[in-house]
Chains A and B, each alone.
Chain A
Amino acid sequence: DAGITQSPRHKVTETGTPVTLRCHQTENHRYMYWYRQDPGHGLRLIHYSYGVKDTDKGEVSDGYSVSRSKTEDFLLTLESATSSQTSVYFCAIHRQVTDTQYFGPGTRLTVL
């Protein structure tokens, strides 16, 4: 258990509405990541952060924005949700002691 929580765990929303997903960590890790997971695609990186207010784009960043105002919180925002953003979203941290990523439990998002 890497001390990562995600909220909400499930959300159903309508096309065009804004959505914010929250990732919270308790171990003060510098690097945090947002992924989406879809059948046949595996995990795809959306955005990542390497410190407070320091973020960068990943492979599939279009339509998503992120913010990190505190070390422990990394927010993912869908400004105007579309049906193609229906997915399972995972947050991860990089733990330096083991040099690997550890994942939260995921948020299942459905955009109708």
Chain B
Amino acid sequence: QKEVEQDPGPLSVPEGAIVSLNCTYSNSAFQYFMWYRQYSRKGPELLMYTYSSGNKEDGRFTAQVDKSSKYISLFIRDSQPSDSATYLCAMSETLSNYQLIWGAGTKLIIKP
């Protein structure tokens, strides 16, 4: 079993919809949680970063961490075709060597 599980999709939704992307993990020691967005044939780019539990909002994006359920989510409001990409979650126990454990990514398609 992988430490971090993420549905590969593709997830296809109409423009304007609210999107929910999720990751589950098995290591209860994870404290640092990130979401990256990766466009086709590009490197991943950091989207959101949260520490421990709770919510964090940045524009149309909200990251949510539920440590009791070992579950993190990324919500995208008013989704746009430009949001079409692969979304990867990453997490870490400690920042001592800054190593991250990655989900395999969910491919998101926003239909105009």
Contact = CB atoms under 8 A, between A and B. Distances in A.
Interface of A: 31, 40-45, 48, 50, 56, 58, 90, 92, 94, 98-106
A55 to B, nearest CB: 12
Given A40-B104, A48-B97, A98 B43 contact: no
Given A100-B49, A103-B44, A31 B98 contact: yes
Contact of B43 (A41, A50, A90): A90
Helix, strand, loop or mixed for chain A's interface? strand
Contact of A98 (B46, B90, B100, B104): B46
B88 A42 contact: yes
A45 B34 CA distance: 16
Interface of B: 6, 8, 32, 34, 41-46, 49, 88, 90, 95, 97-100, 102-105
Given A41-B104, A99-B98, 6 more contacts: A43-B90, A43-B102, A45-B100, A48-B99, A58-B99, A92-B43
B49 A98 contact: yes
29 contacts: A31-B97, A40-B8, A40-B104, A41-B104, A42-B6, A42-B104, A43-B44, A44-B102, A45-B100, A48-B97, A48-B99, A50-B97, A56-B97, A58-B99, A90-B44, A92-B43, A94-B98, A98-B46, A99-B95, A100-B34, A100-B49, A101-B90, A101-B98, A102-B46, A103-B43, A105-B42, A105-B43, A106-B41, A106-B43
